[in-house]
Copies of this chain bind each other. A is one copy, B any other.
């Protein structure tokens, strides 16, 4: 049912997307995201940390010296939410916060040695799954994967994503 053939009307290859195809995309996204977070969640479950800590550590490791405000924009949470997480990470010696030199209002965040170690542990698990998925799927599929995901982002997130991508030249 609902299986129309693609009848191109214009020169452009217009995609005829049935609700069923879109639904499958939605469900694929749901199940895959569960797999995506499963490994770090398992590791974090044993500690006193959760997914929020993982995200903070990831992006601090990714953009060392970033400010609280910048991190806030990337993560898309409120400062109260982030602060709770950062407070524990700093208290536990995984993250250090230094007052800015030019602008003393800012705090620049960096991972400590211990923080980098945890970041590695968590990322290794997640990267292993991503690597395995990429290998299984092949290079063309990976390119498509990234194209669709980029198209699915909101504008601001796409900016954050690109900025991070380009910064790691």
Contact = CB atoms under 8 A, between A and B. Distances in A.
A110 B123 CA distance: 41
A141 B138 CA distance: 12
Contact of A127 (B15, B23, B33): B23
A7 to B, nearest CB: 14
A130 to B, nearest CB: 5
A137 B151 contact: yes
Interface string A123-134: 100110111111
Given A15-B139, A19-B127, A126-B26, A134 B153 contact: no
Interface string A12-27: 0101010111111111
Contact of A26 (B13, B31, B127, B150): B127
A158 interface: yes
Interface residues of A, number: 62
Contacts of A135: 15, 17
Given A13-B139, A15-B139, A127-B19, A148 B168 contact: no
Number of copies: 2
A30 to B, nearest CB: 7
A33 B51 CA distance: 14
B17 A134 contact: yes
Given A20-B168, A130-B26, A144 B140 contact: yes
Contacts of A32: 29, 148-150, 152-153, 157
A2 to B, nearest CB: 10
Contact of A22 (B15, B130, B145): B130
B127 A36 contact: no
A154 B38 contact: yes
